[in-house]
Chain A
């Protein structure tokens, strides 16, 4: 009846997961209780859970990502402290638990932390920047988000029901086959990643279609903000690469559940095929993450330098170059496989060449600042910290792209330092920069600047103190994922790294304080204009937060930097464009299909993990039934009456009038 599930699945004998689970459950119950007591459920259901508004979905993606980043960071703290305590000593984490932690850390940080955040930014921004009202498929957008959330839920359930994989974040066979890992850990990984991968694919298709087919009038390709370009490139990579992950994990699932021989080391299975396939997804995946990050930085550099982005077209070309070449470098993750000199040479060269595209971008960002009137606001600090950090990470990457050098540091702490250098320095810094930058747009008030600066400096210094020792340790010969360390001469570096993580903890506290203080002082920090950074792209043409239909009348774009043009014209003529002729707006109706599908997907995944076959079938049938019910509905859209459209837009125009007056009084614009 319950498959393999029994009371033994609860880790009663292991205090750390047990206590963590109890705390997590209590906090979750507390939150649910608070929502119930305050009677917030109808509001949450109506405005968020069933919402198909791209902005709401984007915000929920970011919320999920932030929570998962904190979870992954907790894993990181445990790994750092454990290693520091495990030098010729047992440390405090038994091997099977430590292995789960580094696996969960990688999986969560990449797939459930960084990915949702990046997808969240794309969801929130792309329609606003393109001057349209929603993404191409709003309801599927909701389905995609909730599927990602169910994947994250499954990973976290594994904390207190059963165990998580101990294989590393990419479950290499034959270790991940049932012969060597019979437990449910790898199955949790497989179903969680598979379900969230489907969600990611849906979002990828959605954004590609939105960018290619839903731009406002006049928004030709070469007038799109660079963030839209990088989102397009990133989502093209999602469409090209995530199916590879789906296929690969499906094969491993068949191996584990039905004794197939895709990746076994017996009966003609081929473990290296897994490694090839999974990195054919895995390398594009890092560019899926970092390309939107480049887009975020491009917007920030241009806005805070008060200049158009330097080399816009070369930026677009570099983005597409990276998009294509990122599919041709995967083998550099396993130069040591023994594919031979010719193959390694090809991939070594392609891996070095891809850095050229990034180099073009770095110069463009620097030249954007050159001669500009640079404002050192918090987003700009993160962006400048990014350039410094990312360039060093890129240089060590080029070093690793040289096969003979890679042989020496393969799978060492040097590698760990490198990829944290690019992913933290690139993606995470971009996320924090973007949050500072667009938070006022999303919520209508800006974040507290002092705490923001504190958070940046703690993160920046903490990052370098944590990860620079890794480079040294790697060169000293320390391999990654060590549960036990018997070289006391490594200890100073490991201790230094713990100091670094302590500084990073201060950074996280500063971020939380920033949020708390900003919410407390929201009236003082309110953005009444909708354009508090003197922005250049269309999202700043909307009020903060934007109305659910984004634009009362779709803009008609007449050049690059769409909003900048509108703004300049308003300043020159000393008046706004004449009031448009308002029309009623058709908007998609909310739908619970996303949360329903995701719920059944989570039940299905859980049932499959524990071999509860009947429940799996029930969940599948229910999911299909849900879709049929959804397909049967007759009302897809509702009409926003002209009166409402006019009311919202007149308020926006009034705020703009006031801004215009203030600007001309102070001569803030040319």
Chain B
């Protein structure tokens, strides 16, 4: 890569291209274009270096890369929290203490709607970030709103499920299996609720402050968070609901 092709860097290591410049993603796109099948045929060496990405010996990364990277690491740690609750469910799924078994408490119809709502919300979330990339406030807000509504729908369906179960006396206090079921699904629900709170705060910030660099960074982190919740939900959907309904 010639120097002319790299995003211009400011003296202090931050992108000089201002709000519109997203060096890391631009660079990623360029790499895909030049090497679409990721065969690694592009030569490595000094010419490969991307200033601001924090690679090798190029000096500190720019703020955007640092924020995204740190948030990824946080997400990994959060996924480890989930993994413990998954492990507890795996250990305790047979510990029904004479109460209902997993197959008797899962309702695949409702879960299908929940899953659809959450996956769709990830899609709208991504669209909102595409709008952010284009610096379009209206569409950013609309898609964020759609994300929030779908997320809220998911949460309400989950609450309805919990309330129905509780109505039949199926509560976490009943057995080890139910403890780990409500614990795992509930932990995800708490994350979605926290995500909605964050989402509302971000919408207010976008509206009142516009696309300042730090707000774009936060939108990026929110996107990562929301997608991570989706990934965790896929695990819950598969392991708790699908595998549970067959058990």
Q: Which residues of A contact B (CB under 8 A)?
A: 132, 136-137, 201, 204-206, 208-209, 212-220, 223, 239-240, 242-244, 246-248, 250-251, 254, 258-262, 264, 266-270, 273, 277, 554, 557, 583, 586, 624, 628, 631-632, 634, 636
The reply to whether B174 and A267 form a contact with Cβ atoms under 8 Å apart is yes
- For A219, what are the chain B residues with a Cβ–Cβ distance below 8 Å? 57
- For A243, what are the chain B residues with a Cβ–Cβ distance below 8 Å? 77-78, 80-81, 84
Which of A201, A213, A223 is close to B66, meaning CB atoms less than 8 Å apart? Answer: A213
The reply to whether A270 and B66 form a contact with Cβ atoms under 8 Å apart is no
- For B180, what are the chain A residues with a Cβ–Cβ distance below 8 Å? 262
CB distance from B114 to the nearest CB of A (A): 23
With A218-B57, A243-B77, A583-B11 known as contacts, the answer to whether A248 contacts B176 (CB < 8 A) is: no
The reply to whether A205 and B58 form a contact with Cβ atoms under 8 Å apart is no
The reply to whether B73 and A254 form a contact with Cβ atoms under 8 Å apart is no
A277 to B179 alpha-carbon distance, docked (Å)? 16
Closest 10 CB pairs of A and B: A268-B176, A268-B95, A247-B84, A213-B54, A243-B80, A217-B59, A209-B70, A268-B97, A213-B61, A214-B60
- For A261, what are the chain B residues with a Cβ–Cβ distance below 8 Å? 95, 97, 172-173, 175-176, 178-179
A-B contact pairs, 28 of them (CB 8 A): A136-B70, A205-B70, A206-B70, A209-B70, A212-B69, A213-B66, A214-B61, A218-B57, A220-B57, A223-B57, A243-B77, A244-B80, A247-B80, A247-B84, A260-B183, A261-B173, A261-B175, A261-B178, A262-B92, A262-B180, A262-B183, A266-B97, A267-B176, A268-B96, A270-B176, A273-B91, A277-B84, A557-B57
A586 to B182 alpha-carbon distance, docked (Å)? 48
8 A Cβ contacts from B136-179 to A: 172-179
Q: Which residues of B contact A (CB under 8 A)?
A: 11-12, 54, 56-61, 65-66, 69-70, 73-74, 76-78, 80-81, 84-85, 87-88, 91-92, 95-97, 172-180, 182-183, 197, 201, 205, 209, 214, 218
CB distance from B117 to the nearest CB of A (A): 25
Looking at A216, A247, A273, which has the most chain B CB atoms within 10 Å of its CB? A247
With A262-B179, A270-B95 known as contacts, the answer to whether A554 contacts B84 (CB < 8 A) is: no
- Closest chain B residue, CB of each to CB of A273: B91
A268 to B88 alpha-carbon distance, docked (Å)? 12
Which of A201, A266, A268 is close to B92, meaning CB atoms less than 8 Å apart? Answer: A268
- For B177, what are the chain A residues with a Cβ–Cβ distance below 8 Å? 268
Which of B60, B84, B88, B209 is close to A132, meaning CB atoms less than 8 Å apart? Answer: B60
- For A244, what are the chain B residues with a Cβ–Cβ distance below 8 Å? 80-81, 84
- Closest chain B residue, CB of each to CB of A132: B60
- For B58, what are the chain A residues with a Cβ–Cβ distance below 8 Å? 217
- For B205, what are the chain A residues with a Cβ–Cβ distance below 8 Å? 631-632
Which of A209, A269, A583 is close to B73, meaning CB atoms less than 8 Å apart? Answer: A209
- Closest chain B residue, CB of each to CB of A557: B57
- For B176, what are the chain A residues with a Cβ–Cβ distance below 8 Å? 261-262, 264, 267-270
A596 to B192 alpha-carbon distance, docked (Å)? 25
Known contacts A213-B54, A270-B92, A554-B59; 4 additional CB pairs below 8 A are A240-B80, A261-B95, A268-B96, A268-B97
- For B81, what are the chain A residues with a Cβ–Cβ distance below 8 Å? 243-244, 246-247, 250
- For A628, what are the chain B residues with a Cβ–Cβ distance below 8 Å? 201
The reply to whether B65 and A213 form a contact with Cβ atoms under 8 Å apart is yes
A529 to B190 alpha-carbon distance, docked (Å)? 54
The reply to whether A214 and B66 form a contact with Cβ atoms under 8 Å apart is yes
- For B80, what are the chain A residues with a Cβ–Cβ distance below 8 Å? 239-240, 243-244, 247
The reply to whether B183 and A209 form a contact with Cβ atoms under 8 Å apart is no
CB distance from A141 to the nearest CB of B (A): 11
A206 to B74 alpha-carbon distance, docked (Å)? 10
A264 to B66 alpha-carbon distance, docked (Å)? 43
- For A220, what are the chain B residues with a Cβ–Cβ distance below 8 Å? 56-57
- For B61, what are the chain A residues with a Cβ–Cβ distance below 8 Å? 213-214
The reply to whether B84 and A260 form a contact with Cβ atoms under 8 Å apart is no
- For A260, what are the chain B residues with a Cβ–Cβ distance below 8 Å? 172-173, 179, 182-183
- For A212, what are the chain B residues with a Cβ–Cβ distance below 8 Å? 54, 69
CB distance from A450 to the nearest CB of B (A): 42
CB distance from A334 to the nearest CB of B (A): 16
The reply to whether B57 and A267 form a contact with Cβ atoms under 8 Å apart is no
- For B218, what are the chain A residues with a Cβ–Cβ distance below 8 Å? 631
- For A277, what are the chain B residues with a Cβ–Cβ distance below 8 Å? 84, 87-88
The reply to whether B88 and A273 form a contact with Cβ atoms under 8 Å apart is yes
CB distance from B54 to the nearest CB of A (A): 4
Which of B65, B73, B88, B96 is close to A262, meaning CB atoms less than 8 Å apart? Answer: B88
- For A636, what are the chain B residues with a Cβ–Cβ distance below 8 Å? 214
- For B77, what are the chain A residues with a Cβ–Cβ distance below 8 Å? 201, 204-205, 239-240, 242-243
A344 to B138 alpha-carbon distance, docked (Å)? 61
CB distance from A637 to the nearest CB of B (A): 10
The reply to whether A258 and B56 form a contact with Cβ atoms under 8 Å apart is no
- Closest chain B residue, CB of each to CB of A223: B57
The reply to whether A269 and B179 form a contact with Cβ atoms under 8 Å apart is yes
- For B172, what are the chain A residues with a Cβ–Cβ distance below 8 Å? 254, 258-261
A312 to B215 alpha-carbon distance, docked (Å)? 42
The reply to whether B197 and A624 form a contact with Cβ atoms under 8 Å apart is yes
- For B57, what are the chain A residues with a Cβ–Cβ distance below 8 Å? 215, 217-220, 223, 557
CB distance from A285 to the nearest CB of B (A): 14
- Closest chain A residue, CB of each to CB of B73: A205
- For B97, what are the chain A residues with a Cβ–Cβ distance below 8 Å? 261, 266-268
A220 to B87 alpha-carbon distance, docked (Å)? 38
CB distance from B116 to the nearest CB of A (A): 28
- For A254, what are the chain B residues with a Cβ–Cβ distance below 8 Å? 172, 179, 183
CB distance from A62 to the nearest CB of B (A): 24
With A216-B59, A240-B80, A628-B201 known as contacts, the answer to whether A586 contacts B12 (CB < 8 A) is: yes
A624 to B197 alpha-carbon distance, docked (Å)? 10
The reply to whether A209 and B69 form a contact with Cβ atoms under 8 Å apart is yes
CB distance from A323 to the nearest CB of B (A): 15
The reply to whether B59 and A239 form a contact with Cβ atoms under 8 Å apart is no
A258 to B205 alpha-carbon distance, docked (Å)? 36
A273 to B58 alpha-carbon distance, docked (Å)? 46
- Closest chain A residue, CB of each to CB of B215: A631
A251 to B91 alpha-carbon distance, docked (Å)? 14
CB distance from A271 to the nearest CB of B (A): 11
- Closest chain A residue, CB of each to CB of B53: A213
A398 to B70 alpha-carbon distance, docked (Å)? 37
CB distance from A224 to the nearest CB of B (A): 11
The reply to whether A213 and B84 form a contact with Cβ atoms under 8 Å apart is no
- For B78, what are the chain A residues with a Cβ–Cβ distance below 8 Å? 243
A385 to B174 alpha-carbon distance, docked (Å)? 56
- For A132, what are the chain B residues with a Cβ–Cβ distance below 8 Å? 60
A619 to B177 alpha-carbon distance, docked (Å)? 33
The reply to whether A247 and B85 form a contact with Cβ atoms under 8 Å apart is yes
A209 to B64 alpha-carbon distance, docked (Å)? 12
A223 to B57 alpha-carbon distance, docked (Å)? 10
CB distance from A138 to the nearest CB of B (A): 11
- For A217, what are the chain B residues with a Cβ–Cβ distance below 8 Å? 57-59
CB distance from A182 to the nearest CB of B (A): 17
A264 to B180 alpha-carbon distance, docked (Å)? 12
A220 to B172 alpha-carbon distance, docked (Å)? 51
- Closest chain A residue, CB of each to CB of B214: A636
- For B11, what are the chain A residues with a Cβ–Cβ distance below 8 Å? 583
Looking at A209, A214, A554, A624, which has the most chain B CB atoms within 10 Å of its CB? A209
- For B214, what are the chain A residues with a Cβ–Cβ distance below 8 Å? 636
The reply to whether B73 and A239 form a contact with Cβ atoms under 8 Å apart is yes
A498 to B37 alpha-carbon distance, docked (Å)? 70
A268 to B172 alpha-carbon distance, docked (Å)? 11
- For B182, what are the chain A residues with a Cβ–Cβ distance below 8 Å? 260
- For B179, what are the chain A residues with a Cβ–Cβ distance below 8 Å? 254, 260-262, 268-269
